[in-house]
Amino acid sequence: MADSGYTLPVWVAAAARAAVAQLLGEPFQAEQPLQLDPCSGHPGLEPVPVVAVAPLGEGRALAVARCEPGPGLDLTRGLVVWVEASWHPLAESSSTEWLQLEAGEGVGVYAESRRLCLSDFARRLLEHNLRPLLPPQRGVLLRLIFPSGRRLAERTSNAAFGVVDGLALIGTQAEVQASAAPDQLAAARAELARRVATADGATDLVLVIGENGLDLAPRQGLPPALLLKAGNWIGPLLVAAAEQGMRRLLLFGYQGKLIKLAGGIFHTHHHLADGRLEVLTCQGVLQGLPAAQLQALATAASVDEALRGLAAWDGDAAAALRHRIAAAVEQRSRDYLARHGQHDLQVGAVLFDRNREICASGPLGQQLLQAFRGRDLG
HEC letters along the chain: CCCCCECHHHHHHHHHHHHHHHHCCCCCCCEEEECCCCCCCCCCCEEEECCEEEEEECCEEEEEEECCCCCCCCCCCCCEEEEEEEEEECCCCCCCCCEEEEECCEECEECCCCCECECHHHHHHHHHHHHHHCCCCEEEEEEEECCCHHHHHCCCCHHHHCEECEECECCCCCECCCCCCHHHHHHHHHHHHHHHCCCCCCCEEEEECHHHHHHHHHHHCCCHHHEEECCCCHHHHHHHHHHCCCCEEEEEEEHHHHHHHHCCCCCCCCCCCCCHHHHHHHHHHHHCCCHHHHHHHHHCCCHHHHHHHHHHHCHHHHHHHHHHHHHHHHHHHHHHHHHCCCCCCEEEEEEECCCCCEEEECHHHHHHHHHHCCCCCC
Whether residue 255 sits in one domain with residue 142: no
Whether residue 247 sits in one domain with residue 313: yes
143, 167, 191 - which closes a domain: 167
Per the structure, how many domains does the chain have?
A: 2
Whether residue 353 sits in one domain with residue 217: yes
Model pLDDT for residues 332-363, shown as the tens digit of each residue: 999 999 999 998 999 999 999 877 889 999 99
Whether residue 190 sits in one domain with residue 314: yes
Whether residue 266 sits in one domain with residue 127: no
The pLDDT of residue 233 is 78
Whether residue 137 sits in one domain with residue 66: yes
Whether residue 357 sits in one domain with residue 301: yes
Model pLDDT for residues 75-91, shown as the tens digit of each residue: 888 999 999 999 987 76
167, 201, 222 - which closes a domain: 167
pLDDT above 70 as % of the chain = 89
Whether residue 189 sits in one domain with residue 309: yes
Whole-model pTM over 0.85 = no
* Full residue range of the structural domain in which residue 212 is found: 182-372
pLDDT above 90 as % of the chain = 54
Model pLDDT for residues 256-278, shown as the tens digit of each residue: 889 999 998 887 665 455 788 99
